[in-house]
Structure 1
Amino acid sequence: MTVLKGANLGLMFLLELGVLAAAASWGFTLDANPIVRIIAGIGAPAVFIAVWALFAAGGGKNARYPLTGPWRGLLEIAWFGGAAVLIGLAFAAPAGIVFFALWAINGALRLLWHQT
């Protein structure tokens, strides 16, 4: 069981990286002039990073304003849901749905196993 719990935390880390990749991909693939694409490609991940750092970093232990309980759940839904939407916009809707489903399964297992 320890291996599965470790794999679930590893998946959480990969999903967090996926959020940043989704934000950058969306920004760099916008149908706009190159300057706007560069700003969006760098700025969108920066916004996601700032939100995570302020409210959720390190399972809330390293966050400036740590959220817990239902507030943490709402943050994760918005953060990973936002990434799923951006994946859908940058690539295809099914890819965004798969991303969000992976997060939902990961989140359910983290709750079940009391992981942060």
Structure 2
Amino acid sequence: MTGVVRLADDTLALLLELAVYGAAVRFGLTRRAARPARWALALALPAAYVAVWALFGAPGATVPLHGVGRAVLDLVWFGSAAVLIRATGLRRTAVVFAAAYVLTTAVHLML
């Protein structure tokens, strides 16, 4: 049973990570600016998220964080995505996203 729960938790965590990138793209595309500026932001924001994740959060990160540092990274990473989702007018989606993050974090800590 633990294996099934771990697989479900890992799947949800992966989907949340992908949703972070989607939130960054959506935020960039929905800003009130000229089309080239929106596209630039829609490309730059996820690129910044990728860089931060590659440096600090990925399993093969250049500077892997552990303990409190990792907890702070996760809170900022997923929290900022919830803020971006909310800023695009999707209030309920932001709440569901945040709740899913809390759920997967709680399950991860229990396993």
Gapped regions of structure 1 (runs ≥ 5): none
User: 1:20 matched to which residue of 2?
Assistant: 21
How many residues are paired up? 110
What is the DSSP-based 3-state SS (H/G/I as helix, E as strand, rest coil) of the residue aligned with 2:63?
Answer: coil
> What's the CA shift string for 1:64-87, capped at 9, x where partnerless?
000000110010000000000001
Amino acid at match of 2:27: W
For residues 14 and 91 of structure 1, what CA distance do their matches in structure 2 show? 21
For residues 17 and 89 of structure 2, what CA distance do their matches in structure 1 show? 18
Q: CA deviation at 1:101?
A: 1.1
What is the DSSP-based 3-state SS (H/G/I as helix, E as strand, rest coil) of the residue aligned with 1:16?
Answer: helix
Structure 1 position 69 matched with structure 2 position 70: no
Q: RMSD of the alignment, in Å?
A: 0.8
For residues 67 and 13 of structure 1, what CA distance do their matches in structure 2 show? 18
Normalized against structure 2, the TM-score is what?
0.95
Query: In the TM superposition, what are the counterparts of 1:1-116 in structure 2 within 5 Å?
Result: 1=1, 2-58=3-59, 62-113=60-111
For residues 55 and 79 of structure 1, what CA distance do their matches in structure 2 show? 11
Q: CA deviation at 1:91?
A: 3.2
Which portions of structure 1, spanning 4 or more consecutive aligned residues, are displaced by more than 6 angstroms? Answer: none
Q: What is the identity percentage for the equivalent residue pairs of Structure 1 and Structure 2?
A: 39
Normalized against structure 1, the TM-score is what?
0.91
For residues 40 and 78 of structure 2, what CA distance do their matches in structure 1 show? 21
Amino acid at match of 1:6: L
Q: CA deviation at 1:97?
A: 1.6
> What's the CA shift string for 1:11-34, capped at 9, x where partnerless?
000000000000000001111110
> What's the CA shift string for 1:81-106, capped at 9, x where partnerless?
00000011113222112101100110
Gapped regions of structure 2 (runs ≥ 5): none
